[in-house]
Structure 1
Amino acid sequence: MVDHLREVLGRSARHNEVPGAQLVVWCDGEARAFEWGEERHGTGRAMGRDSKVPIGSITKTFTATLLMVLVSDGDVDLDEPVVEYLPELRQTLGDNADVLTARHLLSHTGGLPSDVAPPADGRVALVASVQDVVQPPGAGFSYSNTGYAVIGRLVEVVTGMTFPEAVRTILLKPLGLDLGFITDPERADLPTASGHTVNHALRLVRPVEQELTPVEAPAGGLAASAADLVELARMHLAPRHGGIDPGLVSADHLAEMRRAVPGADPFGLADGWGLGLALFRGSGNGWLGHDGTADGTSCHLRLNPDSGTIVALTTNSATGANLWRDLLPELRAAGIDLADSAATINTRPRTSIPRECTGTYVNGDTAFSVVVEGDELQLVVDDEPAARLAVHDGFVFSVTDLANGATGHPGRFLRDPRSGRIDRIQIGGRVAGRRHRERDVA
């Protein structure tokens, strides 16, 4: 298996023009590690086992684990309204102030917009971002970076530390981990691996810089190696599988992280959601994990507590998602039965375009417009044509990227249960409602 996976990693990285990648497979109580390429294109600086790659939203699993440390210590109650810790949000949240909890935020069922309102420059942006909920707390799943920014602020208030200080002191140091911080102004712990964009037509690979503000750090501000991701995941394994217990989170609270939250249906992304972990049950197995995309990176973490298996992949290119897809069948052939989401579309698209789906749907400051272009339905994001949509029975749809022809996560149109009219769209796990932004109607 070792030689074969190393060959597959290199072959797929070359094919997808990924400058560098790390793969670690934890199985039978030991790690098998593989590295490919370089940290920054054209430098010759080899990607090593300890190279740090911006991991994007996998940061959320670290943030959720950090909060669960505070929960285990009795400092935070998952079901207490967050305004009890952050009273500055009470007025802005309005009727939702006494409903929204940390459990909602960790499971993306808080109904908050996807992204922090610009300019994302601190507490003012955070308060402004919670004003326009996309749906009431607890009503359903809508992926939200804003929710994790609120969690980060809660951590700061409870601990009296900055978020980077709290992560280092409370979580990383006991685990023996030293991660990079993209947005920490006090230290130069920048990631050692650059993200990259790829132009296949011109065969151009270009480094890109990370663009993230400190308030967004709890949602995507860490840089780690694949080995670092495995160490965090080992907290969820039993000792017989090589699990570790640093005494941070109780066994009951770790189990709560892995348990599906009722109503958290991340259609297209996964089959359920816990607290900082997605659930993948496409093959009936109990896989969990998280994916992360930073500027020019694509990273993936999967763990199975039942079998004691962990798989972590970090790549420093936006095309790394293709490398992950290439690895999945090879890992399965090697006996690692990784599960995908069960949300697949097996029916043929409708022959006629359902006009009732067209219109503009809004999540925070982002507008998703569904328009008819010729004989097809297209998705336009903030006035930029983004994807081709093919609507199937049940008003679910497949997604094809207009720029590169890649197939994206499936999505769906949702109906108002009272009127029966289509009033929302769920794409990329994010729910957007059929309404206009204030600037469009001013």
Structure 2
Amino acid sequence: MSSSNGNRITQAALAAFVAGRAAELGIPGVAVGVWAGGREFHACHGVTGGADPRPVDRDTVFQVGSVTKTYTATALMQLVADGLVELDAPVRRYVPELVLADERAAAGITVLQLLNHTAGLDWNVIADTGAGDDALALFVARMADLALIGEPGARASYSQAGFNLAGRIVEKVTGLPYEQAVTELVLVPLGLTRTGFDLAGPGGGGRATGHNLAEDGTLTAAADDWAVGRGDRPGGGLLSSVRDQLRWARFHLGDGRAPGGELVLPAGELERMRRPTVPLRASALGDAFGICWFLREVDGAATVGHGGSANGQFADLLIVPEHDFAVVTLANSAPHGGPFNQEVVRWALEHGPGLVDRDPEPLPHDPARSAAVAGRYDIDALTLVIAADEEGMTLEVGIKPEIRAASDTEMPADYPAESIGLLPGDGDEYIVTSGGLRGQRGFFTRDGDGAVTGVDLAGRLFTRVPSPAPAEGLPPTRFPHVRTGVRRGP
């Protein structure tokens, strides 16, 4: 672990760094919060965007995407602490109507496997299940169409569908709509008044609008009415401010009590959520999953985090329990919001607890090894293309055209081809070295004969698609930042 001279964060230094990087990256609005040395620091810069732009402040509401999963998991862990749910119990004990393509999998998936992404479920069900209180029930009914990527418990693969199913468990056990249950179990006791699921913005006030980079290099505002459907809310539908997000981070650093002394979740259950449950390989998300949380060692210290993305918005939350440290950062622009958040987190780690976080260096380009992994890879809604030639390798990922065509709402832009490099070792691990996914790591999977069958990106398994196209020189597909939930633990 790097030596530390103690917290060197000041309000002025944080504000200068945040404003400088946001301006250089062209991000309309950002909000950052840090807990270090027993003090809170906030830095906000820019405007919300949209039809009524306002200055971003500590109460501006952003879409936090998959950070929502930490709220869903915490609410479910309250039910565990109360003896109403068992982590090792089959999901069907609580959702008996669950049907999957594989009956054995449907009967065997456990609650814990949903929370650590080992249920063997594909990324998501592409379906609009409406805005009624039955949206999650209808989502679960559609899961019969969801692909399975492996045996339950065999490996981790990040799944939105799994967390939506976890949200349905919360509904069934509490007898309340998911949003009301989370509000009563978590948001109200912790005083998170600027956090909720109402698109108008909980409590009124400024709400950040996402922005995407157009092909001509200009930023365009995402539609103000773009939102996550109710069937997807447990995995990514929350709105929150940087002040509330920092309060949320401090709760997970604490003893499980609300500021007023009310016990929300026993400290032992909070600590249990931070214990490794399944390892991750070559992932920028972390070294392991806890219960929902991404766990990663940085410069000798254990960190706990999660991130999220929405349409042109990015969120990151990271805590370091042994240093009583937390950083949260929100940005309203793609693709540069992701790299901005990463830079802020690394700056705060170095200037707070004195931890240095660096990406590994890729190997020199090897055309033969690169050609062997080039190709097209799919999950249900996305296509990932790896192209290789004599000069190097690129990775691009975007929403499938048929998914775009079927959508009646604005969808986010895609990620264009960016450079990647293979990492030292067996040649099956890689890192993205440019663009909005810079720093993301992953690995290729092979069958028993050594043939490449899939690629992991941000904890998700993409399956290789046979194609008559040659491995080298694959034609560009012009995917310019997709809302994949591809974020660090976060």
Report TM bin, short chain: 0.7 to 0.9
Q: What does 1:7-406 align with in structure 2 at a 5 Å threshold?
A: 7-40=16-49, 43-90=52-99, 92-119=101-128, 121=130, 122=135, 123-129=137-143, 131-182=146-197, 192-199=207-214, 202-209=217-224, 210-238=226-254, 246-265=262-281, 267-318=283-334, 319-338=336-355, 340=357, 344-372=360-388, 376-379=392-395, 381=397, 382=400, 386-392=417-423, 393-399=426-432, 404=435
The two structures have a TM-score, normalised by structure 2, of 0.79
Please tell me the residue identity of whatever aligns with 2:312.
Answer: G
Which deviates more, 151-160 or 208-217? 208-217
SS of 1:192's equivalent?
coil
Please tell me the residue identity of whatever aligns with 1:139.
Answer: A
Q: Give 2:487's aligned residue.
A: none
* 8 Å contact kept, 1:134–1:432: no
C-alpha displacement of 1:223: 0.8
* 8 Å contact kept, 1:235–1:244: no
1:414 to 439, 445, 452: 445
Q: Deviations over 1:370-390 (max 9, x none)?
A: 455676544454478644443
Q: Give 2:481's aligned residue.
A: none
* 8 Å contact kept, 1:57–1:293: yes
* 8 Å contact kept, 1:266–1:273: no
Q: Deviations over 1:315-359 (max 9, x none)?
A: 22222223223324532442333564x873443232424444244
* 8 Å contact kept, 1:180–1:191: no
Please tell me the residue identity of whatever aligns with 1:302.
Answer: L
Q: Give 2:12's aligned residue.
A: 3
SS of 1:154's equivalent?
helix
C-alpha displacement of 1:112: 1.0
Which deviates more, 271-280 or 350-359? 350-359
SS of 1:116's equivalent?
coil
SS of 2:299's equivalent?
coil
With over 3 angstroms needed to count, the CA separation of the structure-2 counterparts of 1:297 and 1:96, relative to structure 1, is same
Please tell me the residue identity of whatever aligns with 1:407.
Answer: R
CA distance in 2, matches of 1:232, 1:35: 18
2:454 to 419, 424, 437: 424
CA distance in 2, matches of 1:296, 1:190: 20
Q: Which runs of 5+ in 1 are unaligned?
A: 438-442
The two structures have a TM-score, normalised by structure 1, of 0.87
* 8 Å contact kept, 2:99–2:141: no
CA distance in 2, matches of 1:179, 1:93: 41
C-alpha displacement of 1:314: 1.4
CA distance in 1, matches of 2:41, 2:104: 51
C-alpha displacement of 1:271: 1.6
Which deviates more, 205-214 or 271-280? 205-214
* 8 Å contact kept, 1:117–1:129: no
Which deviates more, 355-364 or 137-146? 355-364
* 8 Å contact kept, 1:287–1:339: no
SS of 1:414's equivalent?
strand
Q: Deviations over 1:267-295 (max 9, x none)?
A: 23212111121112031101111111111
CA distance in 1, matches of 2:233, 2:419: 32
CA distance in 2, matches of 1:111, 1:189: 40
CA distance in 2, matches of 1:196, 1:169: 32
Q: Give 2:483's aligned residue.
A: none
Which deviates more, 194-203 or 160-169? 194-203
With over 3 angstroms needed to count, the CA separation of the structure-2 counterparts of 1:160 and 1:329, relative to structure 1, is closer
CA distance in 2, matches of 1:112, 1:19: 36
CA distance in 2, matches of 1:338, 1:290: 18
C-alpha displacement of 1:105: 1.0
Give the count of matched residue pairs.
Answer: 433
SS of 2:122's equivalent?
coil
State the Cα RMSD in Å.
3.2
CA distance in 2, matches of 1:20, 1:184: 18
CA distance in 2, matches of 1:132, 1:29: 47
Please tell me the residue identity of whatever aligns with 1:88.
Answer: E
* 8 Å contact kept, 1:196–1:297: yes
SS of 1:298's equivalent?
strand
Please tell me the residue identity of whatever aligns with 1:67.
Answer: L
C-alpha displacement of 1:245: 6.1
CA distance in 2, matches of 1:127, 1:100: 16
* 8 Å contact kept, 2:339–2:436: no
Please tell me the residue identity of whatever aligns with 1:327.
Answer: V
* 8 Å contact kept, 2:330–2:341: no
CA distance in 1, matches of 2:420, 2:73: 34
Please tell me the residue identity of whatever aligns with 1:395.
Answer: D
C-alpha displacement of 1:95: 1.4
Q: Deviations over 1:102-139 (max 9, x none)?
A: 11111111121112223455444434346421121111
CA distance in 1, matches of 2:178, 2:206: 17
C-alpha displacement of 1:213: 1.0
